[in-house]
């Protein structure tokens, strides 16, 4: 893979639909490499594409989710989503979901760059509290910690690992990216 820096962009629903097979290929490659991101093996690329088509595209179209891709030489090598579909009492919170970097493109700062774009958007949307969960012990944990996310604890036996061999714990993390707006702060 070339040494060029990744190009990041957020996609409209139509743009994401046009890149469904690339998004599906990325998700499929990550799960095949052992990523614990809701899916278990066997998992086909068609199922991966269906996930984006059914769960992500409608949310982008509804304005409750932003999806970024990172490209190197025109190839999608990373993605992340910001989910702002929160209840009425959490208008200041947003969730990180499906941070994925292709196994061949890892440890080059792509996840860090995607998270920076996500946090900029969260701040622009006045979403000051960002929450996420990630499998305990995964590489994502030191990544999030290095970005200032605080681990508040783990839930044991939270999910089945992708190979269906055991139950894994998950770590719940959060980051406050800036002070809540005056209205929320006065509550």
Residues that bind ligand COA (CB under 6 A): 30, 35, 37, 99-101, 106-112, 132, 134, 138-140, 142-143, 146
Yes or no: say if 125 and 94 are a contact pair by the CB < 8 Å rule.
yes
Give me the least distance between CB of 183 and ligand COA, in Å please: 31
100/130 with CB nearer ligand COA: 100
How would you label 119-139 residue by residue, b for 16+ Cβ within 10 Å and e otherwise? Answer: bebbeeeebbbbbbbbbbebe
Give me the least distance between CB of 59 and ligand COA, in Å please: 17
Give me the least distance between CB of 4 and ligand COA, in Å please: 15
Angle at 37 between CA 35 and CA 39, to 5 degrees: 95
99/186 with CB nearer ligand COA: 99
Separation CA 131–CA 133 (nearest Å): 7
19/135 with CB nearer ligand COA: 135
Separation CA 59–CA 30 (nearest Å): 22
Neighbours of 108 (CB within 10 A): 18
30/122 with CB nearer ligand COA: 30
Give me the least distance between CB of 37 and ligand COA, in Å please: 5
* Edge-to-edge strands, sheet with 129-135: 7-10, 65-72, 75-83, 93-101, 129-135, 167-176, 150-160
Separation CA 181–CA 23 (nearest Å): 35
Give me the least distance between CB of 149 and ligand COA, in Å please: 10
């Amino acid at each position: 893979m070339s040494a060029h820096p990744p190009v990041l962009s957020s996609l409209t629903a139509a743009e994401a639909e046009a890149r469904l097979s690339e998004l599906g290929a990325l998700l499929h490659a990550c799960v095949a490499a052992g990523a614990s991101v809701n899916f278990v093996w066997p998992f086909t690329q068609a199922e991966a594409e269906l996930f984006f088509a059914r769960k992500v595209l409608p949310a982008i179209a509804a304005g409750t989710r932003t999806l970024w891709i990172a490209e190197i030489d025109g190839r999608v090598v990373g993605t992340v989503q910001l989910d702002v579909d929160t209840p009425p009492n959490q208008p200041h919170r947003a969730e990180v979901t499906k941070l994925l970097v292709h196994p061949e493109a890892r440890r080059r700062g792509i996840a860090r760059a995607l998270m920076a774009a996500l946090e900029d958007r969260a701040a622009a949307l006045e979403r000051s509290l960002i929450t996420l969960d990630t499998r305990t012990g995964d590489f994502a944990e030191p990544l999030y910690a290095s970005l200032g996310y605080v681990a508040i604890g783990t839930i044991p036996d939270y999910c089945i690992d992708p190979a269906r061999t055991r139950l894994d714990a998950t770590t719940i993390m959060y980051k406050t990216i800036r002070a809540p707006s005056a209205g929320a702060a006065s509550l």
